[in-house]
Amino acid sequence: MLGKNLKLYGISRQYLWLMMVGLSLGISSLILQAYLNQIAAADLPSQTRAMETSLLNTASGFRQVLRTLEDIDRQQRRQYQPSQQFQGRIIDGVQLPSSQKVIALTFDDGPWPQTTAKMLDILQAHDVNATFFVLGSNIIRFPDLLKRVAQDGHAIGNHTWSHHYRYHSPALAQREIQLTSQVIEKHTGFKTRLFRPPGGYLDNGLVAYARTQGQTTVMWTVDDTYSGTVEQAVNNVIQNATPGGIVLMHDGGGDRQLMIQALPHIITQLKQQGYQFVTVPQLLDMADKLEQ
């Protein structure tokens, strides 16, 4: 069951890709065989041109199919919405059997120059997808970084426009959240339904508004270390990791060199403990399937 759940948005696409690769190879083989059967009885130059044309048409059709599959996958991720049991709720992880050792890495306060790109490089090198809770005020300054977050296959959540902790009137909360959702969709096409309140404050009006919109407020089970040594930062995450847990880290909002250094070790040691990494949407989907 774990294997079926982990690649929620990719596994169907992978099977379809394999099928299309096989189909393409089969068609190409048939064309090539026909060419070999006719070559002795036909004019070589004209047959060669015909063969080249057939193969080019096959390759073009194959590429079109792959583009279609990519479009379907992107559309599925853009339209993701938490299931009914998570809409309007506050979560700080989900309950999973101990045998399902999955965990979600999340990053707050970006996108941010250099830091976000370095985090993305590390995640890419270790083949890990994560969830980024982004600020609207940073998106308009660094839109290309957010586009890369989306292109690399990471999930995206709303972290308000300006990251204030103070009380928000309903109108101000609406502005902070709606404007950020709009710029996320503008630059990535994703309609996020995930929200994380700045500082984890639950009673300053922001979460109340997010609840009215059916959004899932995503907290965490373990926070990152803002100071200290790399070893301390790594141990803090490793010692508090649990199946279905959510790890809070930061790629913006200050000097994040400590987490840049600690992240590769965190990923490696969690993998050594048998953990696999999922996005928050994947985590919620796994929990939802257990309730069915």
- Concerning whether 144 is annotated as a catalytic residue, the answer is no
- pLDDT tens-place string over residues 172-190: 999 999 999 999 999 999 9
C-alpha to C-alpha distance for 116 and 161, rounded to whole angstroms? 18
Give the other-Cβ count within 10 Å of 111's Cβ: 27
Give the pLDDT of residue 199. 95
Give the pLDDT of residue 207. 98
Q: 20 by DSSP, 3-state: which? A: helix
- Residue of 108, 109, 224, 251 with catalytic role: 108
Query: Taking all residues of the chain, what is their mean pLDDT, rounded to a whole number?
Result: 83
C-alpha to C-alpha distance for 7 and 191, rounded to whole angstroms? 20
- Concerning whether 126 is annotated as a catalytic residue, the answer is no
- pLDDT tens-place string over residues 254-286: 899 999 999 999 999 999 999 999 999 999 999
Burial tier of 37 (Cβ tally within 10 Å: 0-12, 13-18, 19+): exposed
- Residue of 187, 250, 251, 285 with catalytic role: 250
Mean pLDDT, rounded, for 84-88: 91
In the structure, what pLDDT confidence band is assigned to residue 83 with cuts at 50, 70 and 90?
confident
Q: Is the pLDDT of residue 6 over 80?
A: no
Give the pLDDT of residue 225. 79
C-alpha to C-alpha distance for 149 and 2, rounded to whole angstroms? 25
Contacts of 85 (CB under 8 A, 6+ apart): 288, 291
- What sign for the dihedral angle of Cα 139, 6, 283, 106? negative
Q: Is the pLDDT of residue 75 over 60?
A: no
- pLDDT tens-place string over residues 24-50: 444 444 444 544 455 444 454 555 555
- pLDDT tens-place string over residues 93-112: 999 998 999 999 999 999 99
Q: What angle do CA 218, 272, 122 make, to 5 degrees?
A: 60
